[in-house]
Structure 1
Amino acid sequence: MAVPCCPEAVAAPAAAAPAGGHRFSAAAGPLPPDVVDEVAEACRSWRGGGSVLSLPFISEAFRELQHETQARLRRLLGLPPGYQVLFMQGGASAQFALVPLNLLGLDGAAAHLDTGHWSRRAAAEAARHARVVTLRHDALDEPAPPRETSPVAYLHLTSNETADGWQWPRLPTSPWPLVVDMSSDLLTRAIDCTGLGLLYASAQKALGVPGLTLVIVRDDLLGRARPSLPGVMNYTALAAADSRLNTPPVFAIFVAHAMLGWIERQGGVPAMARTAARRSHAVYQALDTSGGFYRPQVGPAWRSSVHPCFGLAERALTPRFLEQARAAGLFDLQGHPDVGGLRVSLYNGTPEAAVSALLSFLQEFQRTHG
């Protein structure tokens, strides 16, 4: 439940932005200063040895790092036994193809819930490799799920649509194993693992830096890959090799380890969820009380707590909004190129000062242009 926003938080004057300003890009989440310091120190010397940048993936030190990272992730997610935690590369977009190639074998169909830009991208890529059944987001509320001539192996959904500002309030109940792209809201809220077949997420939004892709797959879904699938893309082969069938993204795994440790120290996922609710409520309150000057793109029931997306009643003011935001040290507020408008990204590592500065800017821009 969203925490009511303190009115003073909206009206407070903006503090001076740091030298590099505040960034709200959906492409990459900021790292907290504590994590930056830990990573910087490890680049010089880590655990009494050399730089983590030269850490061999075949070393015992890396195995310990990897297993600690997996253990932290399991604790934070409340992941029950019976799942493999894989560290891969290629980003979430690679998983659009690798999921059907790993889970469908030569037969069967994949159901995809259409909720926005990224769910459609996932369905389009999957359709190159398998038969895809596209469903509306409310299809599962119907008295009986759709019947298909080919067995449906899984149901794919995008938990948070970064381009559209649309988010599932909770994972739906499904007659098929759920496959969830959680790249943009991983560890921002608790999830119910009941029915979860596979979860994947690129790491640069929630877990650190580009290069690492997390895949969590239920044991009973292994062993279904197409024979032609290369080994380094085969979930079963990777699980058997403990994600070390080829060189894993060592540095990105280290940064994820540091970020997971920071989340634990803050109070875990419950603390992250409270912060996300408070921040997004403050932003939406500023938009909703603007008298129509700002126009949120999504109704309250489906609004993202991570990516408030909105437009201006007078669209011609959008370039001026972005220009003046940059002058105030607020960067990357433009919407997705295919959707347009404006967008705020509120990842776990976003500092409080950035949110306060944004709220003050929204108020000031409306005052001077409304």
Structure 2
Amino acid sequence: MASPSLAEAAVLRNVSGFSFSAAAGPLPDEVAADVAAACRAGRGSVLSLPFTSPAFRALQEETEACLRRLLAIPDRFRVLFLAGGASAQFALLPLNLLGTARQASYVDGGHWSRRAIAEARRYAEVSIAVQASGRIPDVGEWRVDPRAAYCHVTSNETADGLQFRELPVLPVPLVADMTSDLLMRPLDFARLSLVYAGAQKTIGTPGLTLVIVDERLLGRARPETPRVMDYAAQAAADSRLCTPPVFPIFVAHRMLHWIEARGGVAVMAEAARRRSDAVYAALAEGAGTYVMPVDRASRSHVNPCFRLADEAQTALCLQAAEAAGLHDLRGHPDVGGVRVSLYNGVADAAVDALVAFLRAFARRHGLRAA
């Protein structure tokens, strides 16, 4: 028998265990089966569904309607189905929202916040509203520039394990990158003016970026903004100014309806809290082995992150996890440590297996607390 390709080997590896990858969340079995059936060869395959067809327009409308129900999105917000990934929005936000202003405020909460800040500085004068390093300061400590066109926050820092569980009321429009916790928590759109998210972590596959924007922010794009990247132009064309990401929209449609059938966002939020509590409890039991760098009140329900005594101990832990069928736990390359991702599609059995492993590893290889 021929050796499997790298891609096949990756698939086989994850079939034989559980993936906790931060890059993309798993689809629930029933959603994956439904998607696979829709990819059948021949006429009627979703892989060749024309975006100009009535069938696709109905699909897009149903997807948006379900999203609006799940998040209670007010009528004044427009939902855009875009390509380009969430990182593209790091540039598109200032291009679309600055208008005649030059200033924008950003919250520095970790790796992805800093990526957004660096890109925004190419277009705007960026002030740091608050620095959240391991702890989220009270909103009274925030210093938002009143001249700012908007204030940007990354609601959940996947690389650092820090999450803004409550979003504040601010004197300027609040913009949130929710790539890693959209549809995992209720939202208050009285506090938000724009939400954006790549779909691959919590509601689908790579290739779709959702932008949920208050229509009062439309029409402010700089003249040099490409038309297909202009929020107002895309809103006017129902996200079909250029070819939309048809297949990822189909997957999001199935995933959104799966969430709704299970009770909606409140149920997803409770599952995330319950799963993360179990992981944090196991880490606390191994306090001589595991170090949690984020303050308890600021720890993410989505991406628990922790460290071990040194690189050798970290490598041993990751190697043992792989042997136990627990994959993709290595921390972000720029941050290090160990990272767990508990997106909507992660099975309870995966979390149970991880918790049992963390306890066993601490007993067998851990360093006892003094």
Return the TM-score normalized by structure 1: 0.91
Is 1:135 paired with 2:129? Answer: yes
Where does the alignment leave 5 or more consecutive residues of structure 2 unmatched? Answer: 1-12
Alignment CA distance shift 1:183-1:19 (3 Å): closer
Q: Report the alpha carbon displacement of residue 20 of structure 1 after superposing the two structures with TM.
A: 3.1
C-alpha distance in structure 1 between counterparts of 2:338 and 2:191, whole Å: 35
Alignment CA distance shift 1:68-1:215 (3 Å): same
Q: Report the alpha carbon displacement of residue 108 of structure 1 after superposing the two structures with TM.
A: 2.8
* Partner in structure 2 of residue 179 of structure 1: 175
Name the SS of the counterpart of 2:25 in structure 1. Answer: coil
Q: Report the alpha carbon displacement of residue 227 of structure 1 after superposing the two structures with TM.
A: 1.1
Alignment CA distance shift 1:201-1:18 (3 Å): closer
Query: What is the identity, as a one-letter code, of the residue corresponding to 1:65?
Result: L
C-alpha distance in structure 1 between counterparts of 2:185 and 2:178, whole Å: 11
Alignment CA distance shift 1:19-1:197 (3 Å): closer
* Partner in structure 2 of residue 12 of structure 1: none
Contact 1:293 1:312 in 2 (8 A): yes
* Partner in structure 1 of residue 74 of structure 2: 80
Alignment CA distance shift 1:18-1:147 (3 Å): closer
Deviations 1:39-87 (A, max 9, x none): 01111289xx610110000000000000000001011111111010001
C-alpha distance in structure 1 between counterparts of 2:176 and 2:287, whole Å: 37
Structure number with higher relative contact order (C-alpha < 8 Å, ≥ 6 residues apart): 1
Match of 1:219 among 215, 228, 231: 215
RMSD of aligned Cα (Å): 1.6
* Partner in structure 1 of residue 62 of structure 2: 68
Deviations 1:286-319 (A, max 9, x none): 1112132111121111000000000113442111
Aligned length: 349
**Which range is displaced more, 283-292 or 27-36?**
283-292
Match of 1:107 among 101, 125, 133: 101
Identity value in percent: 60
Match of 1:237 among 226, 233, 236: 233
Match of 2:149 among 153, 169, 174: 153
Q: Report the alpha carbon displacement of residue 22 of structure 1 after superposing the two structures with TM.
A: 0.5
* Partner in structure 1 of residue 10 of structure 2: none
Deviations 1:198-224 (A, max 9, x none): 100001001111000000110100000
C-alpha distance in structure 1 between counterparts of 2:250 and 2:23, whole Å: 20
* Partner in structure 1 of residue 364 of structure 2: 368
Alignment CA distance shift 1:147-1:193 (3 Å): closer
Contact 2:127 2:145 in 1 (8 A): no
* Partner in structure 1 of residue 26 of structure 2: 30
* Partner in structure 1 of residue 281 of structure 2: 285
Deviations 1:118-175 (A, max 9, x none): 1111011000111111121537414x95556xx2111100000000000001111111
Match of 1:318 among 294, 314, 318: 314
C-alpha distance in structure 2 between counterparts of 1:178 and 1:73, whole Å: 20
Query: What is the identity, as a one-letter code, of the residue corresponding to 1:111?
Result: S
C-alpha distance in structure 2 between counterparts of 1:147 and 1:50, whole Å: 53
